[in-house]
Amino acid sequence: MRLHGVEVEDTFAEAFTMWGARIVVTADTPAWAQHAARSLTGFATSVIGCKCEAGIERELDAAETPDGRPGVSALLFAPDAEGLGKRLVERVGMTVLTCPTTACFNGLEAEDETDVGGKLRYFGDGWQASKVLDGKRYWRIPVMEGEFLVEERFGIVEGVGGGNLIMLAEDAATALGAAEAAAAAMRAVEGAILPFPGGIARSGSKVGSRYSGQMASTNHELCPTLRAQVDGSKVPNGVGSVFEIVIDGLAPEPVREAMRVGLDAAARSGALRITAGNYGGNLGEHHFHLRELVP
């Protein structure tokens, strides 16, 4: 297949069911909302080592937030609902509660919910108070600055983790340019995030390793420097660098849409070849075929 003259491999991205939540952080200024959201979503690139994956979904105007202040929405994903609940409590507690002027709200109406504010309230050491408004309970936790407000229940859904695109180009700068263009296009898709730094991973991995205890290791078949050493290398002649973009979404559709716009942008921005990562189709519940994304 070719898209804008670029070869697109007829393969698919294999993705997994992950539980996701949307966290809305507001603050007195956009800058403080960003500080909190960046901390909230920091060190959350991959469940391989971070227990969760997270990213900023978008900035919110004051008119869009529950308390009428500027805000940021972030998505957080974990392999199971219980783990997601734990990560939410840990991260909201350590990054939003601690951040000046912020408040934290659920951004996802869903059948399933997890308790966040109801657990963080214990930080109030008995001085906390709750308020119920329009059927939702909020916790007011006294802090040295004044008061931290957090919603009690957060909606959680079965989403998708691990949608991906892999961009190959002549050199690192060109490959990165293509990946940056793809990531920029993908960020406009609501309901999806790119958990890696800047949305881009330079070190795609495979499951397992020759070393026991190492659950993931470098995707040697796509390392350009190993092309001459690895039997069955997937790096074509003339390719000097490869980047991967991983996409997590609250449902399959945002992941598919992000892959579609990312594929188009990468193909216009210097990629020599675009492919996707999978495990033969036997592990992940969601398969996103590139052929369905090429017009």
Partner 1 sequence: MTLTLTLREAPAAPLRAEALCPDRLAGLSRAEIERLELWHGNRRATLGELFAVSGAGAEDVRVVGDLGRVAGLGAGMTGGRLTLEGSAGPHVGAGMGDGELIVEGDVGDWAGAEMRGGRLIVRGSAGRRLGGAYAGARAGMHGGEVLVHGDAGEEAGAGLRRGLIAVAGRVGAAAGLSALAGTIVAFGTIGAHPGAGMRRASIVAMTTTTLLPSYSPACTYRPPFLRLCLRRLRALGLPVTDEQIEGRYTRWSGDSVELTRGEILILEPPR
Report whether 158 contacts 250 (CB < 8 A): no
Q: Interface with partner 1 includes 62 (CB under 8 A)?
A: no
CA–CA separation, 32 and 26 (whole Å):
8
Q: Which residues pair with 101 in a beta bridge?
A: none
Q: How far is the CB of 71 from partner 1 (least distance, A)?
A: 12
- Contact segment (CB under 8 A) with partner 1 among 29-37, 117-125, 146-154, 183-191 equals 146-154
CA nearest to 169, candidates 275, 272, 277: 272
Q: Interface with partner 1 includes 132 (CB under 8 A)?
A: yes
Q: Interface with partner 1 includes 25 (CB under 8 A)?
A: no
Q: Interface with partner 1 includes 228 (CB under 8 A)?
A: no
Report whether 218 contacts 281 (CB < 8 A): no
Q: How far is the CB of 149 from partner 1 (least distance, A)?
A: 4
- Contact segment (CB under 8 A) with partner 1 among 53-61, 131-139, 155-163, 183-191 equals 131-139
CA nearest to 245, candidates 281, 224, 214, 274: 274
CA nearest to 143, candidates 88, 104, 103, 98: 98
- Treating both helix axes as pointing N-terminal to C-terminal, what angle do 172-186 and 252-267 enclose, rounded to 10 degrees? 140
Q: Interface with partner 1 includes 69 (CB under 8 A)?
A: yes
From 20, 55, 66, 163, residue interacting with partner 1 (rule: CB under 8 A): 66
Number of residues near partner 1 (by CB under 8 A): 16
From residue 8, how far is each of 1, 143, 200, 237, 277 by CA, in Å? 5, 54, 19, 16, 13
Q: Interface with partner 1 includes 140 (CB under 8 A)?
A: yes
Contact letters (x/-) for partner 1, 83-112, by CB under 8 A?
--------------------x---------
Nearer to partner 1, 124 or 240 (CB): 124
From 25, 36, 40, 149, residue interacting with partner 1 (rule: CB under 8 A): 149
Report whether 290 contacts 115 (CB < 8 A): no
Nearer to partner 1, 35 or 69 (CB): 69
Q: How far is the CB of 67 from partner 1 (least distance, A)?
A: 4
Q: How far is the CB of 152 from partner 1 (least distance, A)?
A: 13
Q: Is 242 helix (H, G, I), strand (E, B) or coil?
A: strand
From 2, 133, 144, 211, residue interacting with partner 1 (rule: CB under 8 A): 133
Applying CB under 8 A, which residues contact partner 1?
Answer: 66-69, 103, 129, 131-134, 138, 140, 146-149
